[in-house]
Amino acid sequence: MRIRDLALFGAVMLAGAVGGSLLGPRAAEAVARELIELQRDVTTLLQGQKEHSTANTQEHTVLKTLLEQSNDNVTKLSGTMGSLQKSVQDVQANSGSRLDSMTTQVQGLSDNLEEIKSRLGKLNQQLVDLQNSVQSVDAKISGAAPATGTASPTASTAGSSAMPAGAPSADTLYSNGLRDITSGKYDLARSEFQDYLKYYGDTDLASNAQFYLGEISFKQKQFADAVASYEKVLTNYPKSFKLAPARLRKGMALIELGQKNSAVREFREVVRRYPGTEEDRQARAKLKELGVAATATR
């Protein structure tokens, strides 16, 4: 716009110069000087325009390079996000099985704790029996009657089926079964727990072995067998500390079999019998998921 104005001004000045030449020498000389200044201004303006154009070209090149680098970074970031999303999906897919394995391990630790408590109780009773036996022997040796108020020796724990020579002990069988169910060797674990029940069915951990047979069937999607195993825990071992988890898991197996009403009854029994426990919390969650109340309406 400024160049056009200057050109127009130059044309006017040229016309004035021509007119001035007709007027006189002095006027023509003044016009000539103005023309020279005008040409110098036009030259300066054109040079500035050229430099400005060059600077714009350089800036455009820089911006283009930055834009390409940004696109590359966005592409790399998209790839990274895709990999991260896949990793998250893999973790979510595996979290269920890992949580299940951790739950089994925790159950195993709980079993071991209960077994230790039971053994301590038995050792204490055996110590009392031993003291009574020593007192009885001392009394017989001295020819006197046993001291008044001492308890008679108690009978030892009832025996079970004879274990073949060289076969694993109760502790070994039980520990191996827990290890194998945790590592996913379900068939081997089933065999070990079945042997435990066969040869050590009268021990404190027999109900646990029966419970884990139900867990193995559940993990292998043999839900009818799982229900039967859990029911044996409830029926054959009324003092077992696996009653609450057995009833809860029985309800979950019934859900898998499509027996909603029976499952609801089991979950409500868990809520009624074992308030405040982890099984109570899980049973309430399942009942809510099924859209029914935690207690039956009369």
Residue 221's region, left for phi above 0, alpha for psi from -120 to 50, else beta, is left
Give the ranges where the chain is alpha helix by DSSP (H). 2-23, 25-141, 170-182, 186-199, 206-219, 223-236, 243-256, 260-273, 278-290
pLDDT at 70: 75
The series of mean pLDDT values per 10 residues for the chain, 298 residues long, is 54 54 62 79 79 74 78 78 73 61 67 65 58 49 40 40 80 96 96 96 95 98 98 96 97 98 97 97 97 82
Give the C-alpha separation, 208 to 107, whole Å: 9
